[in-house]
Amino acid sequence: MKKFIFVLLALVVLAVSVPVFAEGELIGVAMPTNSLQRWNQDGNNMKTQLEKAGYKVILEFANNDVALQISQLENMILNDVKLLVVASIDGGALGDVLKTAKDNGIPVIAYDRLITGTEYVDYYTSFDNYRVGKFQGDYIVKALDLENAAGPFNIEFFGGSPDDNNAHLFYQGAIDVLQPYLDSGKLVCPSGQIDFNTVAILGWGTDDAQARMDNLINSYYADGKTKLDVVLSPNDSLALGIANSLKAAGFTLDNWPIITGQDCDIPNTINLIQGYQAMSVFKDTRTLAERTVKMASQILNGEEVEVNNTTDYDNGVKVVPSYLCDPVVVDKSNYKEMLIDSGYYTEDQIAVK
């Protein structure tokens, strides 16, 4: 009898002391599109790491169609997911479907793009996106030696998709660095197109960026006398279109402008190696996925959720507790270390063909 009681007590202590993990729970992951390399990698990294942690995953890509993404989220809720990870197409369009998630007790993590205009988002994981833009601005300052050079240098501006909250942060970070040089006349924008809403490219489209660059070249640089020194591009999909336009217009490496970027996509990394893009800001999607998986586990297991920013990400309704990972500048001098040695790419993937 004493032995039975001892065993029973031991089982009770064990049950109390061992946490009940949420492994095996179903998690919904909604990504904006699979037409861009960046989001393919994000989605697959999230799925792989969540499954490695023991979760089941519904992964959907929405082809940059807001209505389709809403439908996908509705279906995830109907499938009784226990948590949603959402990289939104339009950060302000998901209020109603996320209210449904809330009504069903489903927490929501906004992934890399802040979900705006709703209280029904619990956490945000991303990189420091203002810092991304600042990195781009700082690179231009250093590359042109704006502290010492007399100038003037001609610059054109591109902005990301206006329905993506990150696009505003990228642009503001860069403009805050570059504005003093615009004010002093060391930087000049021949087109006069500087306002974000004027230079923004809806949907981050490569072809749309190429078309806008075509127009800028034809309107302001076709005389052969006006030199284009730098193009601020917030990401690689736009930078690729800008480079394509310049090549088609007859620009060569002898008169090639500085072009910034972000994401270290394969075609852009090849351009970087060849000299057709000066830099890209590397946001390691493996790191972001790892952090998001950790946050999801903490939420589902009722643990304290680790965040490192509780002040800066106001979505218009609430300040969303956030965890921000660190981006890194990549250029020709360090791409091997950052992209190949880290295992992000193989040498064959970014070999110049």
Q: Which domains does the chain have, with CATH numbers?
A: 18-121+284-322 (3.40.50.2300), 129-283+331-340 (3.40.50.2300)
Question: What pLDDT score was predicted for residue 223?
Answer: 87
Which residues are CB-contacts of 160 (< 8 A; sequence separation ≥ 6)? Answer: 166, 167, 170, 171, 200, 201, 204, 234, 235, 238
| Total residues found in the chain within this entry | 353
In the structure, what pLDDT confidence band is assigned to residue 24 with cuts at 50, 70 and 90? confident
Asked, as a colleague might, if the bond just before 107 is cis with ω within 30 of 0, I would say no
Given pLDDT bands bounded at 50, 70 and 90, which one contains residue 22?
low
**What average pLDDT score do residues 24-41 get?**
91
Alpha-carbon distance of 27 to 29, in angstroms, equals: 7
- Cα separation, 89 vs 33, in Å, equals 8
83-86 and 108-111 beta bridge pairing = parallel
**The dihedral sign for the CA sequence 225, 231, 236, 237:** negative
pLDDT of residue 179 exceeding 90:
yes
d(CA 84, CA 75): 12
**Model confidence at 1: pLDDT above 60:** no
Q: Which residues pair with 258 in a beta bridge?
A: 230
The three-class DSSP label of residue 156 is strand
Q: Which of 278, 268, 264 is nearest to 240 (CA)?
A: 268
d(CA 275, CA 273): 6
The Cα 126–Cα 23 span in angstroms is 24
The answer to whether residue 6 scores a pLDDT higher than 70 is: no
Name the β-bridge partners of 108: 84
Two tokens, residue 207: 């072809």
What mean pLDDT do residues 131-151 have?
A: 97
Residue 23 pLDDT: 57
Q: Give residues with Cβ within 8 angstroms of 26, minimum separation 6.
A: 55, 56, 57, 58, 79, 80, 81, 82
Q: Is pLDDT above 90 for 191?
A: yes
User: CB neighbours of 332 closer than 8 A, spacing ≥ 6?
Assistant: 272, 273, 275
- Whether 8 shows a pLDDT value over 80: the answer reads no
- What distance in Å separates the CA atoms of residue 259 and residue 117, rounded to the nearest whole number? 33
Q: What is the pLDDT of residues 51-103, one digit of tens each?
A: 999 999 999 999 999 999 999 999 999 999 999 999 999 989 999 999 999 99
Q: What is the mean pLDDT of residues 140-147?
A: 98
**Tens digits of residue pLDDT in 294-338:** 999 999 999 999 999 999 999 999 999 999 999 999 999 999 999
7, pLDDT greater than 50:
no
Task: Give the pLDDT confidence of 210-234 residue by residue, as tens digits.
Answer: 999 999 999 999 988 899 999 999 9
Mean pLDDT, range 139-162, rounded to an integer = 97
How high does pLDDT run on average in the chain? 92
